[in-house]
A and B are shown apart, each in its own frame.
Chain A
């Protein structure tokens, strides 16, 4: 460590020591910051939790989904387009689905309930996950967990087939969520090399606002012969509803946060100002001993930051406890961390003016003995 770094570190340590030696002011700052973060979390935290729940419901309905299929009689899409779609930015996942037919459990000799089956192109993803066994290779089948009882299967094994379709081995089961939830009521068969055509492509965008642009890009990649015959189902309208809900709930939260922060900022400024005024001889002595103005600012800000970190942590825990008790929900962690950080930053901004005043005070005047 060079001398400059060691000197800065020593100053910061001195700031920590000031927290202990100036306990009343430090405790007051910590209390104010705790009140800020606690009040924001206890009030807007409920809103944020509700907002997260509403948005999650909308997202479950597939705000980020794009489904593209050809009109009746179309040639379908080339399977080679799928890797290119997956390579597009803003694509979270994508699969292609081929022809549809019904299968039965082969062990029941043609009896049992028929279950809808689709040829699948592409692998599992965050919303389409393997539950048991593995994902089907070409010519193998995986059964959705909703279809297992209908096929009379307790574990994914044996084979499924139909009159017009050769039996295929069942190698696993899967669960579907979001846009793939309905697939879990059927069977997926891995596309064989001779299956070159996708009838339907389902793409999940990384964010709702990317849906419109991504839909156009996907169509470009698919390059169908007749674009007019395409049926594109996007969740653009749902995404707009999502944005409107988010905006409405967010506006209330923002106003409340600004109000609480402004109050906290004023209180912290007054507290830090009182503390540095009471200790003007202390700062005067430090200046005479060689502390520069910037060193005084560092000392005041370090003392405030340490107190504010403690206050922010206490306020966050208390605020979360209140929200959990009242709303029986927890706001998103990004919101919780954001509130804590904002309260800390507000305290530092509030301490800046008193710190500068302490640094600019004439040491000779405050130290003169009458």
Chain B
């Protein structure tokens, strides 16, 4: 389980406060949707929970332990080992093949090559992009690219999945594949947190955290 306690975030340069005194828990085995208008701090909260940003004050706890004050190297190690991240724009490496992009998800966690190869095939097959594994990201559609990004996030079998507007650029059919994969992951016991404007995606989440501007 992930929880945040008395979380405050203020931009260093602008001094603008995004949220203050926020406490919330994100249980394992459930999908939580962070909703709210643009600029409310949905992505920022996701990045704080994923240890990519440090809060101005307050704590982030993973399984009851404060992790937001850890050194960068330790936070990177935790992120590599436990977090699968899905970006809004897929964020694939355009110079590498689909297969290499998916494999990169396990690189920093030290997942053995043989395991990566097996899981990559399974995931690409499951998300319907197996035939594209030797293509470059520029040669696949937006929906396919997001499914590749989903496979990259899942390859290390993470127990925390963070998704930032994962269906934002997708048509309904492609969004369905992503939503189904995230729901399935939550059902499997992972903490799944999505920052989204998509009411359909927010609708399938078992918990909602609404941020106001």
Could you tell me which A residues sit within 8 Å of B by CB distance?
3-4, 6-7, 10-11, 14, 17, 21-22, 281-282, 285-295, 363-364, 367-369
Contacts and interface: CB of A to CB of B under 8 A. Distances in A.
Interface in B51-101: 52-53, 72-73, 76-77, 79-81, 83, 85, 87-89, 91, 93, 95-96, 100
Contacts of A6: 110, 112
Given A281-B91, A368-B43, A369-B89, A291 B112 contact: no
B157 to A, nearest CB: 14
Contact of B73 (A7, A294, A369): A294
B107 A285 contact: no
B47 interface: yes
Given A10-B107, A287-B52, 14 more contacts: A14-B104, A14-B107, A285-B87, A286-B104, A288-B85, A290-B79, A291-B80, A292-B77, A292-B108, A294-B73, A364-B44, A367-B91, A369-B87, A369-B89
Given A11-B107, A295-B108, A369 B88 contact: yes
A293 B80 CA distance: 12
B113 A290 contact: no
Q: State the main secondary structure of chain A at its contact with B.
A: helix
B110 A367 contact: no
A10 B104 CA distance: 10
Nearest to B97: A21
A224 B112 CA distance: 75
A21 B95 contact: yes
8 contacts: A3-B110, A6-B112, A22-B95, A293-B73, A293-B76, A364-B44, A364-B52, A369-B87
A290 B52 contact: no
Given A17-B100, A281-B91, A363-B52, A289 B80 contact: yes
Contacts of A291: 76, 80, 107-108
Contacts of A292: 72-73, 76-77, 80, 108
Interface residues of B, number: 33
B45 to A, nearest CB: 12
Given A292-B73, A364-B53, A369-B89, A286 B96 contact: no
Residue of A6, A282, A286, A289 most packed against chain B (CB within 10 A):
A289
Contacts of A289: 79-80, 85, 104-105, 107-108, 152
B109 interface: yes
Contact of A288 (B50, B81, B88): B50
A369 B169 CA distance: 12
Contacts of B44: 364
B93 A21 contact: yes
A281 B50 CA distance: 18
Nearest to A10: B107
A120 B62 CA distance: 87
B46 to A, nearest CB: 10
A290 B83 contact: yes
B22 to A, nearest CB: 18
Contacts of B100: 17
Contacts of A11: 107
Contacts of B112: 6
Nearest to B90: A285
A17 B104 CA distance: 11
B96 A21 contact: yes
Residue of A17, A282, A291, A369 most packed against chain B (CB within 10 A):
A369
A285 B93 contact: yes
Nearest to B109: A290
